[in-house]
Chains A and B, each alone.
Chain A
């Protein structure tokens, strides 16, 4: 069982928006502004698409946005494209001795 809770799957049609939630506790998401989101296509390594709650690394389209409220973080993908179909993982910094916890992953299907 993962420390952070994500829906197992979400779906949307091209052009629509979808939001993926990531629920933690006051010891992880609620305590630190170090929430990351990773995108993983089948057979590929994960790639960072959001860090520090809402920051995008260079090269990540602004269709990807994220936020946090209390113990829950959210990733929103607007203007869905076929290439967005992937697994998405959230993670949060936690204090020693663990340092990081992950969600179980959400499979996004573009209909």
Chain B
């Protein structure tokens, strides 16, 4: 069974870049049939898809984020990463990394990390 764990700063200043990493254990990040993605949830609110990266490195991101998303995979470390630039206070949220199967099914989830955007 896959296990995912987010890591990265918990506090980001407005206009700066959020950088998060997800470490995957339990299966090969490169040889598996999963896409790797990020979903966020503002406090007390619902879920929002941020973006996904497929095993070849192609990135798919939410159009509402207006090309602010960069994602990458490091197979040697079994990690994938998210960079989201020009952060604003409204993007304070719990950020989850997920293993995604066909049909955008978020099969496995990390425990989530609360990122606060504040000066």
Q: Which residues from B are CB-within-8-Å of A61?
A: none
Chain A, residues 11-54, CB within 8 Å of chain B (1/0): the string is 00000000000000000000011101010000011111001100
Q: Tell me how far the C-beta of B5 lies from the nearest C-beta in chain A, rounded to whole angstroms.
A: 11
Whether B111 is near chain A, meaning CB under 8 Å from some CB there, is yes
Chain B, residues 45-64, CB within 8 Å of chain A (1/0): the string is 01111001000000010110
Cβ-defined contact, A34 with B109, below 8 A = no
Cβ-defined contact, A99 with B52, below 8 A = yes
Cβ-defined contact, A46 with B96, below 8 A = yes
Q: A46-B47, A47-B109, A89-B47 are in contact. Are A32 and B63 (CB under 8 A)?
A: no
The one of B47, B63, B107, B110 that contacts A97, using a Cβ cutoff of 8 Å? B63
Cβ-defined contact, A100 with B49, below 8 A = yes
Compute how far the CA of A91 lies from the CA of B71 in the bound complex, rounded to whole angstroms: 23
Cβ-defined contact, A34 with B102, below 8 A = yes
Whether B105 is near chain A, meaning CB under 8 Å from some CB there, is yes
Compute how far the CA of A46 lies from the CA of B105 in the bound complex, rounded to whole angstroms: 12
Compute how far the CA of A36 lies from the CA of B108 in the bound complex, rounded to whole angstroms: 13
Cβ-defined contact, A46 with B109, below 8 A = yes
Cβ-defined contact, A34 with B105, below 8 A = yes
Whether B106 is near chain A, meaning CB under 8 Å from some CB there, is yes
Q: Which residues from A are CB-within-8-Å of B48?
A: 102
Q: Tell me how far the C-beta of B117 lies from the nearest C-beta in chain A, rounded to whole angstroms.
A: 21
Chain A, residues 72-111, CB within 8 Å of chain B (1/0): the string is 0000000000000000010101001111101111000000
Q: Which residues from B are CB-within-8-Å of A36?
A: 103-106
Compute how far the CA of A38 lies from the CA of B106 in the bound complex, rounded to whole angstroms: 9
Report the nearest B residue to A36, measured CB to CB.
B105
Cβ-defined contact, B103 with A93, below 8 A = yes
For chain B, residues 80 to 119, give those with C-beta under 8 angstroms from any C-beta of chain A. Answer: 96, 101-112
Cβ-defined contact, A52 with B96, below 8 A = no
The one of A51, A89, A100 that contacts B46, using a Cβ cutoff of 8 Å? A89
Q: Which residues from B are CB-within-8-Å of A69?
A: none
Compute how far the CA of A91 lies from the CA of B101 in the bound complex, rounded to whole angstroms: 13
Compute how far the CA of A33 lies from the CA of B104 in the bound complex, rounded to whole angstroms: 11
Compute how far the CA of A100 lies from the CA of B105 in the bound complex, rounded to whole angstroms: 9
